[in-house]
Chains A and B, each alone.
Chain A
Amino acid sequence: MAVTGQAQHERAADTAEPRALRCSGLRYSFGSTRAVDGVDLDVRTGEVFGLLGPNGAGKTTAIRVITTLLPVPAGMVEVFGHDCARERMAVRRLLGYVPQQLSADGGLTGRENVALFARVFDVPRRERTARIEAVLAAVGLSESADRLASTYSGGMVRRLELAQALVSAPRLLILDEPTIGLDPIARTNVWGHITQVREATGMTVLVTTHHMDEAEQYCDRVALMHHGRIQAAGTPQELRNGLTPAESARPGGQSAMPPTLEDVFRHYAGSGLDGRESTEDGGDFRDVRRTRRTASRVG
């Protein structure tokens, strides 16, 4: 998996394809809160790129600018060469987006939820039914497709959202904390589907997470984000290798262990990825509460 990933972005770099995503000097503030504070990102075509950081790091805000939900007040953002500020419609046509919040329409069945997205992305009528069935099958929801989404579990809603995002065959799939609020089995399950789809289609995936084990296991390259800035970027391997054993020393006599991404993060940010330090700004609490609220409403 890591080897194929490696090979893939070398190929992408060789053919000088347009970057799936390029950000430079991206900033976004909510009043006096600088949520995104000068971010440069470079996502290559075909890779799984992880934006890793604790709650409140600014990941969701960056994603919301990239998806054209928020304006681009400063800096440049391009998706496959299309400017996110000036060519919003062109950008939207290329994106599949699964927001952090669990969000399927509970008043519609799983199939109707997916069909809506097939229609608004202009999937031709002739292909529509087949495409809808295919993505439902790809996320393992064929059996439950005629049930109202309000009866789905959290993991099923996530997979349904994945199907909604995939039905338009996007070139860039953006997943904001796809496993937040899910139990370990559902988490593995969702990642399994993401990996499968990605292997089948070769689409580019931009995913945010605050679980470093997920980033380590599933991402070709990662960027560590903290306080609105990218602190380091590279393959998980490169980031770990960049750390000398002394730097990865942890209290408790574990310094003999090889460094993990957690250590890398602690080195660059001065705190763990569980982000206890950054809960004070309220980001953590707000996100959790929001996700819970949706989870209880959706079912």
Chain B
Amino acid sequence: MVPARMLAMCLVELQKLRHDRTELYTRAVQPALWLLIFGETFTRIRAIPTGDVPYLDFLAPGIIAQSAMFIAIFYGIMIIWERDSGVLTKLLVTPTPRSALVIGKAVAAGVKAVIQAVVVILIAAALGVSLTWNPLKLTGVALVVVLGSAFFACLSMSIAGIVLTRDRLMGIGQAITMPLFFGSNALYPVAVMPGWLQAVSRANPLSYEVDALRGLLLGTPAHLGLDLAVLVFADVLGIVAASALMGRLAR
């Protein structure tokens, strides 16, 4: 029964996406710019040491994780919007456990992020990045993207449950996404970071997501087991926190 409700919550997200695809298109612009401008430039000037891997190749998995995070962080704003418009209130009066609501949204964020990842992979391939086409590994990529986005969606919904207003959440959202992005291994290898930033990166789920994506897409050495364990753990924490805070949005 609970899985059916989760599925229902996820389904409406996808139905909305089907009715209005502009989000999909506009969201493809930013990662394309990162790859085209940042990636191409830094590949040329060789400012960031990435070993045998060309910088553009190194960057592509980071950009997949980044764009997934941006999609997911938006879910907190969305849930506040749903609260203000009364849609959430009605759902909270149905026999849907808070956790099913949260997981449904988190998985929907993941599915959107996977669609986004496909776009980034195609752009990267067009720019000559040599990625794997092994279906098993690509399935792994999808799983990692879903796990990563689910965490950031839950983080954002948890913050929404604390701050309760859209304006404050927008401020906080901006204040945390950039540090999460720059405080990760998405743009540069951990080895070139100063010690304090390495510590930040080690506590940042985004780094584990990027590490797993690099391992799967490029075949670079990665800690897949640890990465998956950290992401699953972060998801469980995020789901528990967001579900517990959801009731505050009913008041």
Chain A residues within 8 Å of B, Cβ to Cβ: 67-70, 89, 92-93, 95, 97-99, 101-109, 112, 116-117, 119-122, 148, 161, 164, 168, 293-294, 297-298
Establish whether residues B4 and A119, one from each chain, have CB atoms under 8 Å apart when the complex forms: yes
Bound-state Cα–Cα, A101 to B86, Å: 6
In the complex, 11 of the A-B residue pairs with CB atoms within 8 angstroms, ordered by the A residue number, are: A68-B93, A69-B93, A69-B250, A89-B97, A92-B94, A103-B85, A105-B12, A107-B20, A117-B94, A119-B8, A119-B11
Establish whether residues B86 and A70, one from each chain, have CB atoms under 8 Å apart when the complex forms: no
Contacting residues, chain B, for A294 (C-beta < 8 A)? 85-86
Any chain A CB within 8 A of the CB of B95? yes
Q: Return the contact of A103 from the options B20, B89, B97 (Cβ within 8 A).
A: B89
What distance in Å separates the Cβ of B45 from its nearest Cβ neighbour in chain A?
44
Q: Which residue of B lies closest to A92 (CB)?
A: B95
Contacting residues, chain A, for B16 (C-beta < 8 A)? 105, 107-108
What distance in Å separates the Cβ of B84 from its nearest Cβ neighbour in chain A?
8
Any chain A CB within 8 A of the CB of B92? yes
Bound-state Cα–Cα, A246 to B67, Å: 73
Contacting residues, chain A, for B250 (C-beta < 8 A)? 69-70
Bound-state Cα–Cα, A147 to B19, Å: 10
Task: Decide yes or no: A120 and B15 within 8 Å by CB, A69-B89, A101-B86, A103-B86 being known contacts.
Answer: no
Establish whether residues A105 and B94, one from each chain, have CB atoms under 8 Å apart when the complex forms: no
Contacting residues, chain B, for A121 (C-beta < 8 A)? 94-95
Establish whether residues B90 and A164, one from each chain, have CB atoms under 8 Å apart when the complex forms: yes
Beyond contacts A99-B89, A104-B87: 4 other A-B pairs, Cβ-Cβ < 8 A, are A116-B11, A120-B91, A121-B95, A294-B86
Q: Which residue of B lies closest to A105 (CB)?
A: B87
Contacting residues, chain B, for A161 (C-beta < 8 A)? 90
Any chain A CB within 8 A of the CB of B251? yes
Any chain A CB within 8 A of the CB of B126? no
Bound-state Cα–Cα, A121 to B8, Å: 10
Q: Total interface residues on B, using CB and 8 Å? A: 28
Task: Decide yes or no: A108 and B12 within 8 Å by CB, A69-B93, A120-B91 being known contacts.
Answer: yes
Contacting residues, chain B, for A122 (C-beta < 8 A)? 1, 4, 95
Contacting residues, chain B, for A106 (C-beta < 8 A)? 85
B1-60 interface (Cβ within 8 A of A):
1, 4-5, 7-9, 11-12, 15-16, 19-20
Establish whether residues B12 and A116, one from each chain, have CB atoms under 8 Å apart when the complex forms: yes
Establish whether residues B15 and A112, one from each chain, have CB atoms under 8 Å apart when the complex forms: yes
Q: Which residue of A lies closest to B251 (CB)?
A: A70
Bound-state Cα–Cα, A93 to B97, Å: 12
Contacting residues, chain A, for B95 (C-beta < 8 A)? 89, 92-93, 120-122
Establish whether residues A102 and B15, one from each chain, have CB atoms under 8 Å apart when the complex forms: no
Establish whether residues A297 and B85, one from each chain, have CB atoms under 8 Å apart when the complex forms: yes
What distance in Å separates the Cβ of A204 from its nearest Cβ neighbour in chain B?
16
Contacting residues, chain A, for B82 (C-beta < 8 A)? 105
Contacting residues, chain A, for B93 (C-beta < 8 A)? 67-69, 92, 95, 97
Contacting residues, chain B, for A68 (C-beta < 8 A)? 93
Any chain A CB within 8 A of the CB of B204? no
Establish whether residues A120 and B86, one from each chain, have CB atoms under 8 Å apart when the complex forms: no
Task: Decide yes or no: A112 and B86 within 8 Å by CB, A95-B93, A107-B20 being known contacts.
Answer: no
Contacting residues, chain B, for A298 (C-beta < 8 A)? 85
Q: Which residue of A lies closest to B81 (CB)?
A: A297
Contacting residues, chain B, for A105 (C-beta < 8 A)? 12, 16, 82, 85, 87
What distance in Å separates the Cβ of B226 from its nearest Cβ neighbour in chain A?
37
Bound-state Cα–Cα, A277 to B196, Å: 61
Establish whether residues B96 and A108, one from each chain, have CB atoms under 8 Å apart when the complex forms: no
Task: Decide yes or no: A108 and B94 within 8 Å by CB, A103-B85, A298-B85 being known contacts.
Answer: no
Bound-state Cα–Cα, A297 to B84, Å: 11
What distance in Å separates the Cβ of A119 from its nearest Cβ neighbour in chain B?
4
Establish whether residues B8 and A148, one from each chain, have CB atoms under 8 Å apart when the complex forms: no
Contacting residues, chain A, for B15 (C-beta < 8 A)? 108, 112
Q: Which residue of B lies closest to A291 (CB)?
A: B86
Q: Return the contact of A107 from the options B8, B19, B92, B96 (Cβ within 8 A).
A: B19
